[in-house]
Amino acid sequence: MYYIGIDLGGTFIKAGLVDENGKIILKDSIPTGKERPYQEIVRDMAMLVKKIIKDAQIDEKDVKSIGIGSPGTPDDKEGILVYANNLPDFVNVPLRTEIQKYIDLPVILDNDANCAALAESIAGAAKDVKNSVTITLGTGVGSGVVIDGKLYSGFNYSAPEMGHMVIRIDGEQCTCGRKGCWEAYASASGLIEQTKRAAMENKDSLINLLVDGDLSKIDAKTAFDAAKQGDETGRKVVEQYIKYLAEGLTNVINIFAPEVVAIGGGVSKEGEYLLKPLRELVYKDVYFKGEPQTQIRVAQMGNDAGIIGAAMLGKINA
């Protein structure tokens, strides 16, 4: 039996045919064209699925379900995408019935961060355990919780939003309206902002050289690159960033005590350079001091996490 997973993003619609172990058999993608009416975008999603099924030389009845991961708040009970940031026309869209106009298969919805967590749980960094948390460090801080192999998303599908836990009262302004959210500090965007400020205050820092004096070229890697080359400002930025990351992560581990926390997103490519000091800070502060401790690992599914996790919604909801 196969599963289809669709990763509905603001830039691309990615979809894939996935086996029950979370392995992609075939995948494809098309531009989202996000300014278009939702009917057109949903039609393209359905046509992409049909093309994948045809290209894989299988039949629709070999597919158990279509899972859709999207940003924002999908309501799987009603089959409605309530709201999706980055997709202006997707407000209370009946995604399930719209897709089923073209393809007669069960359609399951969840948000992209939950899909990433499910992908890590079934086929990635947490596949050997039943309880895990996946944190994705991107524009924001995405989070997903798997408990006993199932996703936890709250009674109204809005959880978890760990990125919006406050770690500094009256701190940095967050996009959600509150101040001092973990996301405002620990996201890739937060790190870029911290790197820019440090570069402005320390004109002789290697950071300025690495971007030819153009601060708009600073990305989430710049401070790490400078630090690795011995730059003091870069080292301080990285050290402080890891402190912010650890502050929230310690809270997460205190609350859920997962067997594994998987850290994904671009910043996680720093690997042990990031995780080693992060573990030191977390294990020093975490409430439970015994053994075994939560393992902090790099997420493994990369750009395919959305497709695989969305497809696997069909497996865990069986």
Choice from 68, 181, 199, 305 touching Zn ion (CB under 5 A)? 181
Least gap, CB of 183 to Zn ion (angstroms): 5
Site string for Zn ion, 52-71 (x = CB under 5 A): --------------------
Least gap, CB of 191 to Zn ion (angstroms): 16
Nearest alpha-carbon partner for 252 in 139, 132, 172: 132
Q: Which is nearer to Zn ion, 161 or 270 (CB)?
A: 161
Torsion angle of the four alpha carbons 75, 78, 82, 87, in this order, in degrees rounded to the nearest 10: 90
Q: Which is nearer to Zn ion, 5 or 144 (CB)?
A: 144
Residues 293, 291: Cα–Cα separation, whole Å: 5
What ranges in 58-167 are assigned the alpha helix state H? Answer: 95-100, 112-123
Our CA angle for 312, 163, 260, nearest 5°, is 50
Q: Looking at the DSSP assignment, which residues form a beta bridge with residue 24?
A: 18
Q: 203: how many CB neighbours lie within 10 A of its CB? A: 10
Our CA angle for 53, 58, 62, nearest 5°, is 95
* Size of site (CB under 5 A) for Zn ion: 5
Residues 108-167 that bind Zn ion (CB under 5 A): 164
Q: Which is nearer to Zn ion, 91 or 176 (CB)?
A: 176
Q: Which is nearer to Zn ion, 48 or 174 (CB)?
A: 174
Residues 160-179 that bind Zn ion (CB under 5 A): 164, 174, 176, 178
The answer to whether residues 180 and 195 touch, using CB atoms and an 8 Å cutoff, is no
Q: Which is nearer to Zn ion, 183 or 231 (CB)?
A: 183
Least gap, CB of 122 to Zn ion (angstroms): 29
Residues that bind Zn ion (CB under 5 A): 164, 174, 176, 178, 181
